Chains A and B, each alone.
Chain A
Amino acid sequence: MATRRRVAREFQAPPLTRADVEALSARYSEPAWLREARLTAWDIYEALPMPTTNDEAWRRTDYRHINWDSAGVLRAPNGGRVEDIPADNRRPLLGGEQGGMIAFVDDKLVHHEASAALARQGVIFTDLRSAAREHADLVRQHLMTHAVTPQLGKFAALNAALWTHGVFLYVPRGQAVTLPAHSIFYASRPAAMLGHLLVVLEEGASIDYLHENLSPTMPSDASFIGATELIVGDKATLRFVNLQDWGRSMFEFSTQRARVGHDGQLDWITGQMGGKLVKAFMEIDLDGRGSWGRMSALYFPDGQQFMDLDTQQNHNAPHTTSDLLFKGVLKDHSRAVWQGMIKALPGAQKTDGFQANRTMIMSDHARVDSIPGLEIQADDVRCTHASATGQVEEEVLFYLMSRGLPRLEAEKLVVDGFFVPVLDRIPFENVRERMMAYVERKLLGEV
């Protein structure tokens, strides 16, 4: 067979147009303000170039192999059903209980339940399209206005213009919600999916929220161009867990940003397991005095997977504390990149910022790049970082094996132990167990 050298390709944009924005907005009979917001975002999108490996934030992330012919098209909703989603992911979070669950198959809402208890507290937990109609003032105030804005980047602008589905979670002032909320985006076919999460906690409110992204592996490329906005009011407390288990045909480009008011607390945990290529920007802005933000991740690429997690901890006010702990295990030919920046604005005195990325490499062919960064403009701060990359040491495996554990079980114990500090931050036991089981299947090469 004759082989032909492949031409070096360009960084191409998906084949989407302004007409797609108009059609989408019309299909859902959106209010005028939303249509306008989408079109404005589209203009911003068009004005921005596609990111390339010449851009600092994208230097290590080459997505030129994406096939936009399948991954870049919007497809009308089909007959997705909630049963398409694996049962394990649909299980209630706390034994038999949860406050509510929303599930989408592609951009079709297939499940929506919210307990009476939530409603009594005035909590809104609904799909973003309905919310834009029924709670227009709230959504309009927060949607892509001060957390993820279209200006943040090409893919953020694209999501703002063309988000296809989303979740709106709103907790009113002073309401402490004990039952967690749970949502799922399940992608069933190769297409472009633009999911959006908008979470707003008013002053003194608190809730735990789990969102999951997943899909099977598909015959051709798919994309998820996501945006997550977490708005944590003064003295509010949000625990947000975000798990990702895309199939191996998925390209994720997501922009996630949180804003935390004074004395607010955000505990943000992410688990990154699947996907072909993941580029996720995760940013916390500690806007209010005394606010606290913690970002934790466990990631475990294998095969040819590529994950690039780009974090930013912005100390915009005095007496703010941020803490980042990322833990990754890499197998086979996988690659991971973490770049983390801690910023402290001039007035942000007495801030305390920490970041650590720790990785364990289980193959000679896997590679991780850890790039910490500090940009400190205040003088009375304590900002530190640490990162360490190691292998599963033979000495450790020998010790465990000398007690009768076969090599794979020994490796699993070591990896579990490595992930435990992050796993322990997930407030749902059955989700922790699910993650552990998943890690085991990854080690055995069963996923």
Chain B
Amino acid sequence: MGAALEIRNLHVTVEDQPILKGVNLIVRQGEIHALMGPNGSGKSTLSNTIMGHPAYEVTAGQIIFDGVDILEMEPDERSRRGLFMAFQYPVAIPGVTVANFLRNALNARRRMTNPEDKGIPIPAFRKLMIEKMDMLRMDHEFAGRYLNDGFSGGEKKRAEILQMAVLEPQIAIMDETDSGLDIDALRVVSEGVTTLYGPNLGVLVITHYQRILNYIKPQFVHIMMDGQIVESGGPELALHLEEQGYDWLREKQNGSGK
């Protein structure tokens, strides 16, 4: 069995405000999960906490990846171990090209397995970039542009998936990668993810819409409300949400005495 990301009873505060209030979730390699939920319910907080963002303080619970508690690890180590997050709001880095950045990131991974590694040879790297950019139907000049600097919303999202494709994580979290994409771009990006998907990749798709799930078909759907996963089910749950909205869940929550 492959690596798994296990979230156990996770409590997280931001600036002393409790945001996550006991989240439980397991995503295994080879599985696709969708995480849905209203604005502000804590989805990005969960993904940022998984990646180790310093603003999010874990007050209780555990995050286990591949059998190891990763809570004390810096974000870079989590990444090198095989976790990836496509950001909801990617950050611009002026002066640093996409290619230069990705080569550095790849080399950091290689050095983890072999401290003596001299880095990926330029021709091999170029080939890899071209292959992945073609898969995402990206113009090759993209590699020479400054990372996210002046990118359109859609370009940023594509660049996130390009990074995922190059870094080949075991578990990838895609935080609203579909937002800001036009219909064609959504299809291209989704097909890209589907191509990458296989027994070695587990995906957690965070989204508000069914649309992306028509391409990236989840086996599991979870709904987060107010910092907890309140409902889990199969793909039909997402369809149900699309028709009904969240009210029935809120009622159900209230009904259960919360």
Q: Looking at the complex, which one of B76, B95, B109 makes contact with A401 (CB distance below 8 Å)?
A: B76
**B132 beta carbon closer than 8 Å to chain A:** no
Across-interface contacts of A396 in B (CB, < 8 A): 91, 93
In whole angstroms, how far apart are the Cα atoms of A168 and B173 in the complex? Answer: 62
Question: Are B95's CB and A405's CB within 8 A?
Answer: no
Question: Are A406's CB and B91's CB within 8 A?
Answer: no
Question: Are A404's CB and B79's CB within 8 A?
Answer: yes
**B104 beta carbon closer than 8 Å to chain A:** yes
Question: Are A401's CB and B146's CB within 8 A?
Answer: no
Question: Are B101's CB and A400's CB within 8 A?
Answer: yes
In whole angstroms, how far apart are the Cα atoms of A419 and B93 in the complex? Answer: 12
**A402 beta carbon closer than 8 Å to chain B:** yes
Across-interface contacts of B163 in A (CB, < 8 A): 403
Nearest to B83 among chain A residues (CB) is: A402
**B80 beta carbon closer than 8 Å to chain A:** yes
B76 to chain A, nearest CB (A): 4
A246 to chain B, nearest CB (A): 27
**B94 beta carbon closer than 8 Å to chain A:** yes
**A418 beta carbon closer than 8 Å to chain B:** yes
Q: Using a Cβ–Cβ cut-off of 8 Å, how many residues does chain A contribute to the interface with B?
A: 23
Across-interface contacts of B105 in A (CB, < 8 A): 403-405
**B108 beta carbon closer than 8 Å to chain A:** yes
Q: Given known contacts A409-B104, A417-B146, is B96 in contact with A402 (CB within 8 Å)?
A: no
Across-interface contacts of A403 in B (CB, < 8 A): 76, 79, 101-102, 105, 163, 167
Grouping DSSP codes into helix (H, G, I), strand (E, B) and loop, the A interface class, with mixed when no group exceeds half, is helix
B25 to chain A, nearest CB (A): 19
In whole angstroms, how far apart are the Cα atoms of A225 and B17 in the complex? Answer: 58
Complex interface bits, B150-188 against A, C-beta within 8 A gives 1, otherwise 0 = 000000000000010001000000000000000000000
**A119 beta carbon closer than 8 Å to chain B:** no
Nearest to B51 among chain A residues (CB) is: A402
**B2 beta carbon closer than 8 Å to chain A:** no
**B53 beta carbon closer than 8 Å to chain A:** yes
Complex interface bits, B35-64 against A, C-beta within 8 A gives 1, otherwise 0 = 000000000000000011111000000000
Across-interface contacts of B146 in A (CB, < 8 A): 417
Scoring A400, A403, A405, A413 by chain B CB atoms within 10 A of each residue's CB, the highest score goes to A403
- Chain A residues 388 to 410 lying within 8 A of chain B, measured CB to CB, are 394-396, 398-407, 409-410
**B143 beta carbon closer than 8 Å to chain A:** no
In whole angstroms, how far apart are the Cα atoms of A410 and B94 in the complex? Answer: 13
Across-interface contacts of B104 in A (CB, < 8 A): 405, 409, 413
In whole angstroms, how far apart are the Cα atoms of A398 and B91 in the complex? Answer: 9
A76 to chain B, nearest CB (A): 47
Across-interface contacts of A420 in B (CB, < 8 A): 94-96
Question: Are B93's CB and A402's CB within 8 A?
Answer: no
In whole angstroms, how far apart are the Cα atoms of A404 and B96 in the complex? Answer: 16
**A416 beta carbon closer than 8 Å to chain B:** yes
Across-interface contacts of A404 in B (CB, < 8 A): 76, 79-80, 105, 108-109, 112, 167
Nearest to B74 among chain A residues (CB) is: A401
Across-interface contacts of B109 in A (CB, < 8 A): 404
**A414 beta carbon closer than 8 Å to chain B:** yes
Scoring B52, B80, B91 by chain A CB atoms within 10 A of each residue's CB, the highest score goes to B91
In whole angstroms, how far apart are the Cα atoms of A244 and B75 in the complex? Answer: 37
Nearest to A410 among chain B residues (CB) is: B76
A189 to chain B, nearest CB (A): 39
Across-interface contacts of B78 in A (CB, < 8 A): 402
**B90 beta carbon closer than 8 Å to chain A:** yes
In whole angstroms, how far apart are the Cα atoms of A406 and B109 in the complex? Answer: 10
In whole angstroms, how far apart are the Cα atoms of A406 and B108 in the complex? Answer: 8
**A421 beta carbon closer than 8 Å to chain B:** yes
Question: Are B96's CB and A416's CB within 8 A?
Answer: yes
Q: List 26 A-B contacts (CB under 8 A).
A: A394-B54, A396-B93, A398-B52, A398-B91, A399-B91, A400-B93, A400-B101, A401-B52, A401-B74, A401-B75, A401-B79, A402-B75, A402-B85, A403-B102, A403-B167, A404-B76, A404-B105, A404-B108, A405-B104, A405-B108, A407-B76, A409-B108, A414-B96, A416-B96, A417-B95, A417-B96
List the 4 shortest-distance A-B pairs measured between CB atoms, nearest first.
A417-B95, A420-B95, A417-B96, A404-B79
Residues on A close to B: CB < 8 A?
394-396, 398-407, 409-410, 413-414, 416-421
Residues on B close to A: CB < 8 A?
51-55, 74-76, 78-80, 84-85, 87, 90-91, 93-96, 100-102, 104-105, 108-109, 112, 146, 163, 167
